[in-house]
């Protein structure tokens, strides 16, 4: 009787089996959640079609906007997270605290060496480790009605004083020529919803030479919202809103969606926002009517909010190999270029490319994107990497919204109270600087 000897599998055999298993899984479907509008979803669909044609891997998308973070939280509680989440880089701390993510070795990301170092910086968490892969970058710019500028005979603003002068002219000199006092100079997305007030005001605080949260040393921070520079920024914005009344009606309850409508409809003539609105505003009020310029300098110089989006890999994702292949494609020259081209009525989902080998102005055939790229490279600033910036931003937004809305309140006293709450939150997050 012949005896059959069963030998344990060799290391090579185990590796082959493991790779085969990963390959088989990668050939399935990758579930991707994006925080995007329906128009952005159309562009993601274009990316997915090209990715599937190249790899055979299908992509199943889910997209939402205003309640996206709540949906992620519910999915995490129910064990139903996708393979990949694409969201604003400001979500990193919150996702880490929720236990959704493991640190990422950027050296193991195919194509990761081609990405801008500044983009990789946005992927760092409080502990200095990476928790996502950059997919898009952006910096705020000023949209302005150039036909209105011609009507009031004023040049593009370079300083806060010039910005104020144009805002007043747009409000009082009937720049649309309809004979009615129905125009306003400056769009203010002042709602505290999702932290909008803090998100918007951060650039102006930096332009004044201040900050909301000051880094004392690695891992230790202190509130700075009560300092003179921050007070100057809030006083400037409240002057526009309360004293000069050059902001649109309902500004202090307006999220960006409503503020967009004010600019599109011709109600307001200047809007400081992200470059994702370029294609939207090119449709209406129309490319021939708008100009995209660098943000005017404040008393502390030039500075703008710079951020972007990251691809996050949830621990609970089932198709990690497929998710990594999708990210590899998205950050490639082909994927970045597709994401920048808003075809079939879509909106760009890659604003500035994170890949050093892609030129935004060349892809768009639009020199305005050079302005955006220069703002990002030369004046862009990111929010501080505290453990949970999302929670801090909401707290700051609520305080600023109240201060800007109450036109007769003492700005110094209001910001002192807000700064106390900032320090309390830093203490809760175990990031408050020790005395």
pLDDT in tens, 101-127: 999 999 999 999 999 999 999 999 999
Rounded to an integer, what distance in angstroms lies between the CA atom of residue 359 and that of residue 351?
11
Rounded to an integer, what distance in angstroms lies between the CA atom of residue 373 and that of residue 312?
24
- What local confidence, expressed as pLDDT, does residue 355 receive? 97
Q: What angle do CA 84, 124, 131 make, to 5 degrees?
A: 25
- What local confidence, expressed as pLDDT, does residue 371 receive? 97
For 416, the token pair is 């002192």
The 3-state secondary structure of 179-235, one letter per residue? CCCCCECEECCCCCHHHHHHHHHHHHHHHCCCCCEEEEECCEEEECCCCHHHHHHHH
pLDDT in tens, 366-417: 999 999 999 999 999 999 999 999 999 999 999 999 999 999 999 999 999 9
Q: What angle do CA 174, 178, 183 make, to 5 degrees?
A: 45
Confidence of residue 342 (pLDDT cuts 50, 70, 90): low
Least confident span in 47-56, 60-69, 211-220, 340-349: 340-349
Rounded to an integer, what distance in angstroms lies between the CA atom of residue 391 and that of residue 431?
13
Q: What's the pTM value of the predicted model, to 2 decimals?
A: 0.89
The DSSP H or E segment spanning 376 is helix 368-379
What's the mean per-residue pLDDT of the chain? 92
Same fold, 27-139+307-381 and 141-306+385-428: yes
Confidence of residue 11 (pLDDT cuts 50, 70, 90): very low
Contact 387, 126 (CB under 8 A): yes
Confidence of residue 344 (pLDDT cuts 50, 70, 90): low
**Cα 289–chain centre separation:** 26
Listed by start position, the domains of the chain span: 27-139+307-381, 141-306+385-428
Q: At what angle do helices 333-340 and 320-330 cross, to 10 degrees?
A: 70
> Left if phi > 0, otherwise alpha if psi is -120 to 50, otherwise beta: which for 222?
beta
For 354, the token pair is 């994170």
Q: Which residues does 322 contact at the CB level (< 8 Å), separation at least 6?
A: 25, 26, 27, 28, 29, 30, 57, 83
pLDDT in tens, 159-196: 999 999 999 999 999 999 999 999 999 999 999 999 99
Does position 97 have pLDDT exceeding 70, yes or no? Answer: yes
Rounded to an integer, what distance in angstroms lies between the CA atom of residue 197 and that of residue 415?
14
* Superfamily covering domain 141-306+385-428: Periplasmic binding protein-like II (3.40.190.10)
pLDDT in tens, 271-330: 999 998 998 899 999 999 999 999 999 999 999 999 999 999 999 999 999 999 999 999
pLDDT in tens, 148-169: 999 999 999 999 999 999 999 9
Q: How many CA atoms lie within 13 A of 370 on its CB side?
A: 5
Q: What angle do CA 88, 93, 94 make, to 5 degrees?
A: 85
* Superfamily covering domain 27-139+307-381: Periplasmic binding protein-like II (3.40.190.10)
Q: Which residues does 305 contact at the CB level (< 8 Å), separation at least 6?
A: 139, 140, 199, 202, 203, 206, 380, 381, 382, 383
Query: Considering only CA atoms, which of 40, 124, 57, 141 is closest in space to residue 350?
Result: 40
Q: Which residues does 199 contact at the CB level (< 8 Å), separation at least 6?
A: 305, 393, 397
For 435, the token pair is 């005395």
Rounded to an integer, what distance in angstroms lies between the CA atom of residue 37 and that of residue 262?
19
Least confident span in 22-31, 174-183, 359-368: 22-31
Does position 8 have pLDDT exceeding 80, yes or no? Answer: no
For 237, the token pair is 């914005």
């Amino acid at each position: 009787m012949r005896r059959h000897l069963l030998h344990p599998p060799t290391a090579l055999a185990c590796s082959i089996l493991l790779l085969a298993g990963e390959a088989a899984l990668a050939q399935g479907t990758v579930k991707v959640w994006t925080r995007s509008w329906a128009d952005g979803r159309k562009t993601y669909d274009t990316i997915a079609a090209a990715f599937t044609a190249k790899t055979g891997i299908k992509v199943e998308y889910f997209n939402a906007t205003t309640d996206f973070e709540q949906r992620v939280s519910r999915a995490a509680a129910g064990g139903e997270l996708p393979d990949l989440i694409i969201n604003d880089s400001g979500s990193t701390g919150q996702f880490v605290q929720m236990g959704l993510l493991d640190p990422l070795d950027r050296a193991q990301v195919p194509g990761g060496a081609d990405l801008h170092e500044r983009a990789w910086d946005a992927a760092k968490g409080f502990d200095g480790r990476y928790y996502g892969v950059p997919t898009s970058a952006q910096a705020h710019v000023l949209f302005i009605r150039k036909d209105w500028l011609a009507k009031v005979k004023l040049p593009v603003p370079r300083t806060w004083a010039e910005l104020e002068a144009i805002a007043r002219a747009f409000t009082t000199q009937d720049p649309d020529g309809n004979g009615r006092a129905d125009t306003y100079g400056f769009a203010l997305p002042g709602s505290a919803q999702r932290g909008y007030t803090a998100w918007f005001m951060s650039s102006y605080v930096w332009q004044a030479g201040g900050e909301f949260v000051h880094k004392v040393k690695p891992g230790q921070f202190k509130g700075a919202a009560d300092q003179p520079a921050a007070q100057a920024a809030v006083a400037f914005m409240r002057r526009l809103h309360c004293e000069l009344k050059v902001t649109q009606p309902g500004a202090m309850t307006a999220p960006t969606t409503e503020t967009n409508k004010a600019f599109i409809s011709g109600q307001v003539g200047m809007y400081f926002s992200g470059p994702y609105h370029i294609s939207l505003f090119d449709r209406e009020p129309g490319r021939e009517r708008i100009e995209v310029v660098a943000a005017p300098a404040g008393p502390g110089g030039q500075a703008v909010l710079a951020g972007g989006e990251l691809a996050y890999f949830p621990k609970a994702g089932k198709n990690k190999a497929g998710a990594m292949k999708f990210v590899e494609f998205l950050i490639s020259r082909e994927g970045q270029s597709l994401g920048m081209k808003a075809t079939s009525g879509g909106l760009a989902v890659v604003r500035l490319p994170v890949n050093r080998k892609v030129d935004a102005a060349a892809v768009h055939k639009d020199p305005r994107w050079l302005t955006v790229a220069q703002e990002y490279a030369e004046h862009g600033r990111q929010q501080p990497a505290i453990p949970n910036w999302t929670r801090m931003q909401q707290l700051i937004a609520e305080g600023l919204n109240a201060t800007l809305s109450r036109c007769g309140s003492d700005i110094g006293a209001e910001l002192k109270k807000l700064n106390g709450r900032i320090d309390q939150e830093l203490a809760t997050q175990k990031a408050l600087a020790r005395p």
